[in-house]
A and B are shown apart, each in its own frame.
Chain A
Amino acid sequence: MGPVPTDDGPEDALQAVVRALGASARESNLARTGVLEEALAALDAGALSGELRECAVSAAHQVVGSAGTFGKHRSSALAAELEQWFREVAPPGPDPARLGWARGRLGELRADLASDHQDDV
């Protein structure tokens, strides 16, 4: 995607580009939450593989960098919590309360990513 032509200065043009790319980033980041959901389901079933755990860590990590850069700072912070949580979780998995906490955070993350608001750009 090339620069968006505007009559304003480079900062204004850049903001327009960031907003345009942010729409695509939202879809990418929502898709990444699917990996987190899959990993939580596997954990709940006592079947979280090392590979899926690493995929969950990677997916959350990508959301941290992407969401915040495109103005979704709340999403970035939630994803960082989930990334750390998946790094630390170990078989056979957490107790139900901790699992519930992670599900809650994931729900918040999805809702924030799906919303139209941006904290700032």
Chain B
Amino acid sequence: MASTGANRRRGGGDGRERGAAQVRDVIHRVLVVDDDDLLREVAKVSLEMVGGWDVLTAGSGSEACAVALEERPDALLLDVMMPGMDGPSTVVALRGDPATRDIPVIFLTAKVGGDGRQEWSHLGVAGVIAKPFDPMSLPAEVAQLLGW
């Protein structure tokens, strides 16, 4: 992945309480994409409060592509089933642009009948997190999948 300059080192000794997901002293920037406003918000707050990361949001696949191109986040947490451009279509679009092709993507899905890992393996996603998700452990799951 190209360096985006998105990560920042946390200043030492600031006394700020840290969540379990903050296994390294780096602030990552994550783009959360979901058409459900409330789920998008709770994921954002979870990653910010517990993970300690910077979070961008988008409510659709097309908006996600635009934000990803503009902001170059370190990773996307992407809903699968959305109206219009769904999650897999969004990944295909991201992979088609040299500027966004290497951004890791994690699918977030309530898909019934399996978690879709086989179905989506050709897309090269970093992992799949099931909905409903636990806001308390979401940052740790993301960090584990991305090796953060």
Contacts and interface: CB of A to CB of B under 8 A. Distances in A.
Contacts of B49: 3, 10-11, 13-14, 17
Interface in A5-49: 9-11, 13-15, 17-18, 21, 24-25, 28
Interface of A is mostly: helix
Interface of B is mostly: loop
Residue among A14, A67, A70 having the largest count of chain B Cβ atoms under 10 Å: A14
Contacts of A15: 136
B20 to A, nearest CB: 9
Give the contact-size bracket for chain B. Answer: 20 to 34
A87 B38 contact: no
Interface in B36-51: 36, 38-39, 41-42, 45-46, 48-50
15 contacts: A11-B19, A14-B46, A14-B50, A21-B42, A28-B36, A58-B83, A62-B36, A64-B112, A66-B36, A66-B132, A69-B42, A70-B42, A73-B132, A80-B112, A84-B112
Interface of B: 17-19, 36, 38-39, 41-42, 45-46, 48-50, 52, 81, 83, 109-110, 112-113, 131-136
Interface of A: 1, 3, 9-11, 13-15, 17-18, 21, 24-25, 28, 58, 61-62, 64-70, 73, 76, 80, 83-84, 87, 121
